[in-house]
Amino acid sequence: MKNLRFACASFVIGLLAAALTGCGSSVMSTGHTQSGSPPAVSGVGLQGNGSAANRWLYVQFNEQMDPATINSKTITVTDSSGAAVPGNVDYFANYDTAGFQPNPALQENSTYTMTVATGVASAQGVPLAKAYTDTFTTRSTTDESPIYVKSVSPSPNATCVSAAAPITITLSEGADISTLTSANITITGPDNTTIPAKIGYNVGTATVTLTPNAALPTGTIMVKVSNVADAAGVKMTQPYAWSFSTECNGGSGGTTTQYTAPLFNQKSPFGINGQVTIDNSGNTTFQLSSAGSSTTYAARFCPAIGSAQYANTSCFDVTTISTDSSGNGSATVKFPKTGDWAGDFMLNDSAGNTDYETGLHPGVNNETYMSTLVPESKTNNGLLPSSVPQDPLTSGSLSYSNGSLTIMVTGGLSNTKYLVGWSETIYVYTSSEEGLPSFATDPTGNGGETTTLSGFSGDMFAVGPAGYAGYFGGFSVPQ
């Protein structure tokens, strides 16, 4: 959080304090008694290839500083002739960092020296042991390129992550520190609740560190970065979001959920009566509650298809599920086919009628959906015939909770617009498909979007850039 700016008033108070002697200890301008080691500069926010003339200049300290000692007298910038550069000085207490904003911007292709005088002091009143200086050269262009997320840890889709592990975000360049806030960088847990965390920042490496106030909950954790700007005030062009899991589910095997969808009653009363869950080994679990009592259902999977002419797209049996007298039952079985799959799960009665089917119906409480993005060129033994290339996406996912759908892609095409479609029918790319908001990837091919679903139903999602074979929300079954 940004503190108030301080001008030279504290300098006058400092002159009065300098006249005080005796009493066994030195007294600083703020009335603090000196104790401990002197503070030190731990990092500076200067671009290595020549600093753009329109950027904030940051100096980070190794401990909390006394804000009253951070002002235009103690933090200065001078040009090659020694003339002082006009500008604003701020202290960002949350990050132990002082900032100098040139006003007007510096001259291009020029040499400057930033100085931190010994008048700056720690929160305990201990002054800097000696003045710190840093000479730098501005480049020939101003900074107009947007900042973006360069790398993250834990990595996207990682599993078995320690609940105490810090979360780090490395940015493509130094940030405008005032934009590193809890509103712009959020962590949410499996139930879509916000997880509070302390935000740290290293100005030298442009790395944000998130330290949750308590151990992370078990399940999928999502982190989202939006509206962060670089030191020149240029904001990121689109949010960046990714997820990882603190769950292992299988001990040393490291299995985790890759697909889950609610099972809806297709008869009256309409509502959720179960769910289907698939882990990354292909183990498929069907769960029913308050369904038909003492009934055996045939669990089937109907692959999404692009046209009825394609082979290997017929529905096929997965297992059977028997309920008790209360209508509760479950069954776990390895999905009967390997490869990438997208489509509908259905539970049929003995007459072949579909009693329960996976789907999303916005407005119905307690819906939870999650799937990985699987390649169109391989899904269901080749969902659509296409001569266009496959987008080089390395990982991606779709998740739905509390009315919001979040789409994330990692390692796709850089700076590219991705289109999103949503459908219920097993025939994709038809008039029943609804277009959802598109999003753009950053220079590293990462991107995502969170949108609200309303007025439609379905659990088949298509994601991909125009002119390329895209991806479908589904799951993968290993050999």
Residue 355 to residue 352: CA distance in whole angstroms: 9
Cα gap 157→175, rounded to integer Å = 26
Task: List the domain boundaries for the chain.
Answer: 9-137, 149-245, 257-358
Those residues with Cβ within 8 angstroms of residue 460's Cβ, 6 or more apart along the chain or in another chain: 304, 342, 343, 344, 422, 423, 424, 425, 426, 428, 472, 473
Strand ranges for 380-416 from DSSP E: 395-401, 404-410
Compute the distance between CA of residue 154 and CA of residue 243 in angstroms, rounded to an integer: 9
In terms of C-beta density within 10 A (0-12 exposed, 13-18 middle, 19 or more buried), how is residue 219 classed? middle
Q: Is 21's pLDDT higher than 80?
A: no
The set of residues, in sequence order, having a beta carbon less than 8 Å from that of 438 and lying 6+ positions away, is 417, 418, 419, 420, 449
Specify the amino acid at residue 412: G
Tokens of 383: 């969902």
Pull the structure tokens for residue 436. 């959802």
Chain centroid offset of residue 205 CA: 19
Confidence label for 364 from pLDDT (cuts 50, 70 and 90): confident
Structure confidence at residue 218 (pLDDT): 87
Task: Answer whether residue 10 shows pLDDT above 50.
Answer: no
pLDDT digits (tens, 9 = 90+) for 148-200: 888 888 887 777 888 988 899 999 899 999 999 999 999 988 777 889 999 99
Kindly report, residue by residue over 199-252, the tens digit of the pLDDT: 999 999 999 999 999 999 988 888 888 899 999 899 988 778 778 888 775 443
Fold of 9-137: Immunoglobulin-like (2.60.40)
CA 74 to CA 83: how far, in whole Å?
15
Tell me what pLDDT residue 15 has: 25
Please name the residues in contact with 23: beta carbons below 8 A apart, sequence gap of 6 or more: none
Of the candidates 360, 368, 373, 358, which has an alpha carbon nearest to the alpha carbon of residue 458?
A: 360
The rounded mean pLDDT for the chain is: 83
Most confident of 121-130, 311-320, 439-448: 121-130
Rounded average pLDDT over 119-129: 94
Do 257-358 and 149-245 have the same topology in CATH?
yes
CA angle 396, 401, 403 (to 5 degrees): 115
C-beta of residue 284 within 8 angstroms of C-beta of residue 341: no
pLDDT attached to residue 17: 32
Distance of CA 224 to CAs 151, 173, 449, Å? Answer: 13, 18, 10
Residue 324 has pLDDT above 80, yes or no: yes
Distance (Å, whole) CA 327 – CA 320 = 14
Half-sphere exposure of 185 (CA within 13 A, CB side): 26
Instruction: Please report which residue ranges of 160-289 form alpha helices under DSSP H.
Output: none
Tally of CB atoms within 10 A around 313: 21
| The pLDDT of residue 155 | 81
Answer yes or no: is pLDDT of 60 > 60.
yes
Q: Quick check: 303 pLDDT over 70? A: yes
Q: Give the full edge-to-edge strand order of the sheet including 57-61.
A: 41-45, 57-61, 97-102, 87-92
116: pLDDT strictly greater than 70: yes
Provide the token pair at 90.
């701020």
SS3 assignment, position 357: strand
CA-to-CA distance for 349 and 352, rounded, in angstroms? 5
Q: 327, 289 in Cβ contact below 8 A? A: yes
What digits encode the pLDDT tens for the residues 425-477?
666 655 567 788 899 998 889 888 888 888 777 888 999 999 898 999 999 99
Instruction: Find out whether 355 and 349 touch, Cβ atoms under 8 Å.
Output: yes
This model's pTM is above 0.85: no
Q: What stretches of 23-110 adopt beta strand conformation (E)?
A: 41-45, 57-61, 75-79, 87-92, 97-102
Q: Is the pLDDT of residue 28 over 80?
A: no
- Position 4 scores a pLDDT of 27
E-strand ranges in 62-184 read: 75-79, 87-92, 97-102, 111-116, 132-137, 149-153, 167-171
Q: Kindly report, residue by residue over 256-289, the tens digit of the pLDDT.
A: 788 999 999 888 667 888 889 998 889 999 988 8
CATH topology of domain 257-358: Immunoglobulin-like (2.60.40)
pLDDT of residue 35: 61
Q: Which of 437, 448, 445 is nearest to 468 (CA)?
A: 445
The Cα–Cα gap between 25 and 126 comes to 11
Give the amino acid at 469: A
For the cut 90, the answer to whether the pLDDT of residue 9 exceeds it is no
Residue 9: what are its φ and ψ, rounded to 5°? Answer: -60, -40
- The matching CATH number, chosen from 3.40.50.20, 3.90.1200.10, 2.60.40.1220, 3.30.540.10, for 149-245 is 2.60.40.1220
pLDDT, one tens digit per residue, over 385-418 is 667 888 999 989 998 876 788 898 989 999 999 9
Query: Phi and psi for 68 in degrees, rounded to 5?
Result: -65, -20
Q: Which two tokens stand for residue 392?
A: 């080089």
pLDDT (0 to 100) of residue 365 = 67
